[in-house]
Structure formats: C-alpha cells, structure tokens
Structure 1
Amino acid sequence: MLIRFEASNYRSIAEGVELSMVAVDRDREAAREAPHLGESLLTLAAVYGPNASGKSNVVSALAWLRDAVEDSLRFWEDEIPLEPFAFGSGPSHPSEFVIEATVDGVRFEYVLELDTRQVRYEGLFHYPEKKRRRIFEREGSELKLQRGLGALSGTRELLTERTLALSVARRFDEPLVSLFAKDILRIQVLGQMPRRVRARAFGSGSGTWRARTHRWFDSLENAQPPLFPLGDKEGEWPTLSRRDQALALLRLADLGIEDVVIDEQQVVYSGSGETRTQRRLRLVHRSGDNAAPLDFSAESEGTRTWFGLIGPVLTALQQGSVVIFDELDASLHPTLSAELLQVFRSPVTNPYGAQLIFTSHDTSLLNHLNRDEVWLTEKRADGSTRLGGLAEFAGERVRKSQNLENAYLHGRFGALPQVDQTDFLRALGLIG
C-alpha cells in the first residue's frame, strides 16, 4: 500500500508537496492497519481545489514516476521527458520525487532527483525490522549496492546518465527490487489526465480502459483466477469467475443491464469489398419480460464510463494496487462515484488494501469522505501549487464529525475559486 508521495519542481509544483495515506482517524473500515509501520493506511484520498490550482498535477506527478520506471531504459536515450516548474529557478533546478509504500508488509522508500539531462541521485531503501537499509544508491554514474545482492551487479553495465537504476535492476532476479518495482508498475491511471502524461503506458482515452474490462467478460480470456479464491471464509465473497465478478460490478450501478454479450460479426469494407470477422460487444437490457442486446456505441456516456472502469478497478482489488482517477466527477454521476468510494472503503469488497486517489469538483462526495481523506490545492501568487491536508487545516477546527461539504462551500478551508467579473463586464462594454 502507498504510504506517501512527494514531488517538487514538476509542472505547477514548485516547492515540495506531499500526499500522505497515513490515517489520522484509525477506528474505521477505510483505515487498514499496517503492523510493521505502527500506523494505519487509507484506501481513499481525494484532491479538491479550483481550476488551474494544480489538482491534476499532483496526481500526474505520481503517474509520471510510474511511467519513468517503465520507460527510462527503452525511451530516454536523448532527453528525460520532464516538465519542471516554468518560472523562477524551476528550469535550472532538478526535480525530486519520493515514494514510500509497503510491499508484503515491508516498508520501502524510493528517492529520485533528476533534470532533463541526467539522473543526479537515486536511492531505494527498505526497513526490515524498522531499521533503514540501503538496497541501492546512485549518484551520477556511481552505483552502490547492498551486500549480498550480487544478482544486481549487471545493473552497472546497462546504466546511463538518463536511465533509472530501478528500471534496469527490476529486470534482474532480485526479489527486493522486482517486488517493489512491480508494485509501482501496477499503478493505473484513469480519467481526464493530459494525454502526454499517460499516452504510452495507459493509452489516450477511455477505449483503453474498455479493452481492460473487455478481457474480464471475454470467454476466450477467462481462464484466470477469481478475485477472492478463498471464498469459503466468513466475510469473503463466494468463489466467482472473473466474468461473474465483472457482471456484479456492472449491475451495482443499476443501469438496467442484465448481461454482456461478446460475439463475432462479419464486416464488409466498402472500399475493397473485403470481409473480415470482428468481435462485437453488446450489453443486454431487460424491459419487462423482454431482453435485447444493444450495441455498445448506443450506450450513454455514463454507462460506457462505468463499464470501462470495471477492468481497472477489479484488477486493483485483486492486486491491492493503486488507481488514480483524475476528474472523477467529469466521468461519473455522483451516485456512481459514491458507490465506487464504498467499494474501495469496505474490507469485504477490498480485502487486499487497494487504494483510490482521485481529483474532483463534486462537493457532494465530501459527505462520503473522512477529514483525513481530503486534500486541498490552491494557486499561489507565483503560479505554483500548494497542497494541504484537510485533517491538519486550522488545527482542531476540522472536527471528525463536521459537515465537510457545507464547510467547504462556505470557504472555511479556502481552495475555492475567487470569482471577479469586473474585467469580463468591462470587456463587454457593460461598465466603464
């Protein structure tokens, strides 16, 4: 599970911002105990704030780090695709990223400092028996390894000034590195995030999510283990096929959909007259005693979005991994968004500690969030992003029982747009 993430000098983030998943209020189902950490970790985190305040940049920084681990060895030959803060000393200073997570109960910490030309510093550490130990540490081209990790010695031969040591080392058979790297690479990104942030790893739109969901329903790809293979234990779901699990989540949205049909159809291309066989996706709707399959393209945008997130969400629940959803309210009705939050909150539907981190303008969701699950962004005078946790805002004034939506809309926490129509009215000639 993710413990915390920190970034500085990335897009609108100048000074370091930190998003922590450590629970303040531990006596509830969304807070999962991490015994070796001595804390409880949250399964939900929401980032609120006005437009252009940097909400998306906070979560895209985490997505960027995920992509970096996957891509640096293959694609960073000429330049590191980094976007530092555009003003002040941003372009001439390095960017920094820090991520801490628990993997199989062990705490890991990964630190990265780099600019567009080179990786300046990189370190991976773990905390066996609560004591920090180095796995590897790299300054420039010099790489130091923990004793006994001879399997990683080949990392030095593939390392370049623009290649992450983690990208190289994960390809060797060393569990300490490969398990952590796999945990990072399992992070999934959904929503409205700019295409350049996620184009290579996640695709450019909802069609890519849909392809991931398609595999859960397709009988040709269903020979995989169910989400909860130990369904005979009390409190767990019964053992269901992947298809049954995906259909149950689809029906949770109460969209009137009874089933999903994936079959084949013959398509004739008008130019060449060539006939090809294509697989077709249709959703079966019931009306009274009648049921009819409708082509997926005829479904509403909300239905297509909910269908598309089923695959990524079930994958995360199965792996106990992280899902980032940018602009959740732009994709889902508030009722469906609230249902999604409950899926991640409940230990019954989320037994392995999957985490949902999302940005939103939908204040109604604040009624479904605890004070330590809410983060606020504001735009400083210099254009940079400030991020703060609601649980720490103004000390004891943010009570556990407070109506967060009402307080937010009344400006108690800031992070609201400052609307001034003067320039607009002047431009229309309505005032002098």
Structure 2
Amino acid sequence: MLLQFAVENYACFAEEALFSMVASAGPEHPRHLVQSQTGRRPRILRLAALYGANAHGKTKLIEALRFAQSLVILGTKSGRRIPTQPYRLDRQSREKPSRFDFLIDYEGVEYSYGFAVDAVRVHEEWLFVRETAREARYFERVTDADNKVTVEMGPKFAGSDKKRRQFLEFVAQGTRPNQLFLTEAVDRNVEVLKPLFRWFKSVLTVVSAEEAPQPLAVRINREEDFVEFMADFLRNAGTGIDGLSSEEEPLDFERHFPGVPAGLREDIETELLQGAIYSLPGPDGQSLTIYCDDQARPTVARLKTRHIGRDAIEANFDFEDESSGTQRLMEILPILADAASGERVYVVDELDRKLHPLLSRLFVSSFIDRCADEQRTQLVFTTHDTHLMDLEVLRRDEIWFFEKDRYGSSRLYSMNALKVRPDLKLEKSYLNGRFGGVPLIREPAVSLDVPC
C-alpha cells in the first residue's frame, strides 16, 4: 500500500509536495482504514480524493507517479536522456534534479525508496527498509559530475557472504549513470529487491483520464464472475445494458488494420507473442482489442453490450454505440471487480469524467463495500465532483486540495490540516473559496460595447 509520495522540482511542483495516505487519529469511517503489517504499524487510508482548479497540479501529480513508475520498470537505454520535467519558471530549478520519494507498505515490509534525476544522470538513489520497529539502510547511490556511480550498501542488504557482496558490487559497477540501481539489480536477478520492483510493476496502477485500466474485451470471454459483476452493476446503474459479450476472430492485418507498415506489423506481432495487448481503432472506427489467445494465435476481439427492448426483443450494440458516460463507467468498473482480488493501488485521473454525480458517489461507496476488512487495496483519484466532498462519504484526511501561487508553483494540503467544524457544509464552503483550490476568475479589465 502507498503510505506517502513526495515530488520536488517536477512540472509545476517547485518545492516539495507531500501526499500522504497515513490516517490521522480520527475515528470516522473505520472501514476506510487498514492496519499496517510492519513494525511501525500506522493506519493506512483506502481512499483519497484530490481537488483543485484546472491547471493547479492534480494531473501533474499523477504524471509524476507514472514517470517514476516507468523509470523503475522500464529503465533507460544507454546514451538516452531521462525524460524528466523540472520546474521551468525559476532559473535555479532548471539546473537542479527532480526528486521522487516513496514510502510503501508491502508484504509486511515498509520501503522508503526514492531518487533524484535530471536529463543526464541519476544524482541520488536510496532505499531504507523497516520490517520491525527499527529501520535498516539497504543502499545509497550517488552519481558524481564525472558520471561515476558509487553505491554504499548496508549490512542487511549486502549480507555477510563474501560472494554475495562481490556480486552486488559488480552490479553497482555495471549500473549506468542514467539507470536506477534498483532496475539494474532486479535485471541482474537480485532477489531481495524483487518485491519492491513488483510493487511498482504489478500493484501500482496509474490510469489517465483518457484510458482504461484493462482491456475489457479479453476478460469478457474468459472470466464468468467478472462478466456477471459488470452486468449487474451496469444494470443497477440504469445504463440500459443487460449483458456483455465479446466477438472474437483471427487477426487479419489487411482487413482489420489496412495500411499498417510491414515493419510496425512485425513489431506488433512479436509483442503479441510476448503477451502484449493492444486496443486500436479499426477501419470502421470500432475499438478492436488484439492479443494472443491460449494457443498463441493473434486474435481480434470486439466488445458487445446486450439490450432488451419491447416484447423482450434483444439487440447487441457496439461499445461505441453507448453514451460516453456509460463507456467511461465500463472502463473503470474493473477497479471495483478486482478490489477484493489482491493488493492494488489505483491512481485515477478524473474518476468522475462524464459520470453523473450519483454514479461517482455509487462508485466510491461500492469500492469500500467490495473491500474486505483486511483487503489491501487503495483508490486515489482526482475529481471536480463536489458532491463527494461530504463527511458522510469521505474522512477529512481523505480530501486533498491543490493550489498554485502567482509563480505557477503548486502545493497540496489535506483538509485535515484545516480547522473545519464537523457540521460545516463542505461543498458550499469549498466553492466559496474557503479551502482554496478553486479558480480565481477575474472580470474583463475593459468592457467593449459591440453593436449587434
């Protein structure tokens, strides 16, 4: 589970911005809390709603998480620049590295991991681990101006075995200036770091406002329980959908994706055999999902929705025939379907995009209902839906605000840091600017009378 994430000198964050999922001492909504399994044992929040005016930093925080995740999982190629984005409205910040810092609770271990990078090298990287009440240093890495990488290792990480230490030193020496030591070490099969890497790869799920977290058409034909949950929710949400199905057929590039260059076609086919899944528009504008089936055959799948009309007449619709709000709801419903299946940290930009406020509220409440008491799943989302700003729905420490200063630098803060009466109407107070994080709309300086 995510305990904290801090970012500094990235995009619109000039100074350090600290986001925390560590709960305060408040007793509200006990089902929103999970007890840590580590020695420190903080209470961890399941939910967080991020509010703020447009261009005040909500999406940039999501992008910072995705950038850090990508750098850990994919790494960099030799000689390539690191695609970081330092704060550009200050001369000194342009020359400084961007800094990312995570506090993670995973499989009974608390990881304090982070790094500082610019476009050329990883300036610093560190990992401290806590399994009991005492924290242990695993490693601290520094890359100097001459691109020399130095990794100092703690005794718990290096161990007492001479061969193990020699191997880790070999890995450190082979780490490029623009590569994270964590990524290099996992690639060299250093077992003790694999759980942390697995958290970034398999647990942290970042979903932008324009994408779906999973390819629905593939799961529809494979998972009966998943289909049943999706259909029940869509039926109860009043979408008019009574069922879901998927039409599959062998992939034919000439028919399904005419005009694709031969080189790109070969790359796609190779990646499909390696387990990749693509969702691409077909020649008629329909969304087509391509993947390899259980016999490693490239396959095309189309998602279909079933509606029942008058006199019990049934008709199948394409996904694109549904309203944009229904499409968005279907795209994010796998989050609810999988909430109880294993540890996940979902970070969703604009969860409420195109959704009715009552559906947004239903989604959030359903997420809590789907999580068992000890289920280690979290949902962090940005939103403009002020109807969710209700202490009947969220705790005060689950509501966060973003605000920019006059120099374009963003900061974020929790409602828990503000003095708020329990009976205060939060939505009205927020829109009136009491908590900040709202747009400052100015009247035009000059009024022009234009004849009609």
| 1:214–1:71 Cα change, 3 Å | same
Separation in 2, partners of 1:429, 1:15: 44
Equivalent position to 1:44, from 21, 44, 47: 47
| 1:171–1:78 Cα change, 3 Å | closer
Separation in 1, partners of 2:234, 2:192: 37
Separation in 2, partners of 1:363, 1:115: 37
After TM superposition, give the deviation of residue 26 of structure 1 in Å: 4.2
After TM superposition, give the deviation of residue 147 of structure 1 in Å: 2.3
Tell me the SS of whatever aligns to 2:352.
helix
Separation in 1, partners of 2:232, 2:173: 49
| 1:127–1:377 Cα change, 3 Å | same
Contact persistence 2:109–2:131 (CA under 8 A): yes
Contact persistence 1:108–1:124 (CA under 8 A): yes
| 1:348–1:358 Cα change, 3 Å | closer
Residue type at the aligned position of 2:205: Q
Counterpart in 2 of 1:201? none
Contact persistence 1:109–1:126 (CA under 8 A): yes
Separation in 1, partners of 2:429, 2:95: 40
TM-score w.r.t. the length of structure 2 is 0.78
TM-score w.r.t. the length of structure 1 is 0.82
Q: What RMSD in Å do the two structures reach over aligned CA positions?
A: 2.7
| 1:411–1:343 Cα change, 3 Å | same
1:407 aligns with 2:429: yes
Residue type at the aligned position of 2:404: K
After TM superposition, give the deviation of residue 127 of structure 1 in Å: 0.5
The residue correspondences of 1:296-335 to structure 2 (distance < 5 A) are: 296-315=319-338, 317-335=340-358
Separation in 2, partners of 1:12, 1:277: 42
Contact persistence 2:8–2:14 (CA under 8 A): yes
1:241 aligns with 2:225: yes
Equivalent position to 1:375, from 400, 403, 414: 400
Tell me the SS of whatever aligns to 2:81.
coil
Contact persistence 1:172–1:178 (CA under 8 A): no
Separation in 2, partners of 1:253, 1:330: 16
Separation in 2, partners of 1:154, 1:245: 50
The residue correspondences of 1:19-418 to structure 2 (distance < 5 A) are: 19-24=19-24, 25-27=26-28, 28-36=30-38, 37-73=40-76, 75=77, 77-88=79-90, 89-140=92-143, 141-145=149-153, 146-148=157-159, 150=165, 152-186=168-202, 187-192=204-209, 205-206=210-211, 209=213, 211=215, 213-219=216-222, 222=223, 241-264=225-248, 269=255, 278-287=300-309, 289-315=312-338, 317-346=340-369, 348=371, 352-367=375-390, 368-393=393-418, 397-418=419-440
After TM superposition, give the deviation of residue 216 of structure 1 in Å: 2.1
Tell me the SS of whatever aligns to 1:328.
coil
Contact persistence 1:44–1:344 (CA under 8 A): no
Deviations along 1:115-146, whole A, 9 cap, x unmatched?
A: 11110110111112121112222111112332
Separation in 1, partners of 2:62, 2:93: 19
Counterpart in 2 of 1:197? none
After TM superposition, give the deviation of residue 413 of structure 1 in Å: 1.0
Separation in 1, partners of 2:348, 2:379: 7
Residue type at the aligned position of 1:147: A
Q: Higher mean Cα deviation, 180-189 or 284-293?
A: 284-293
| 1:300–1:158 Cα change, 3 Å | farther
Separation in 1, partners of 2:240, 2:374: 28
Counterpart in 2 of 1:196? none
Aligned residues: 388
Contact persistence 1:262–1:280 (CA under 8 A): yes
After TM superposition, give the deviation of residue 47 of structure 1 in Å: 1.2
Q: Which ranges of structure 2 fall in alignment gaps of 5 or more residues?
A: 144-148, 260-297
Separation in 2, partners of 1:142, 1:375: 38
Contact persistence 1:18–1:387 (CA under 8 A): yes
Separation in 1, partners of 2:360, 2:373: 16
Q: Which ranges of structure 1 fall in alignment gaps of 5 or more residues?
A: 193-204, 223-239
Q: Higher mean Cα deviation, 105-114 or 4-13?
A: 105-114
Counterpart in 2 of 1:2? 2
After TM superposition, give the deviation of residue 154 of structure 1 in Å: 5.0
Deviations along 1:139-164, whole A, 9 cap, x unmatched?
A: 11112332226564553254100001
Residue type at the aligned position of 1:144: E
Amino-acid identity (%): 28
| 1:429–1:96 Cα change, 3 Å | farther
Contact persistence 1:7–1:17 (CA under 8 A): yes
After TM superposition, give the deviation of residue 71 of structure 1 in Å: 2.2
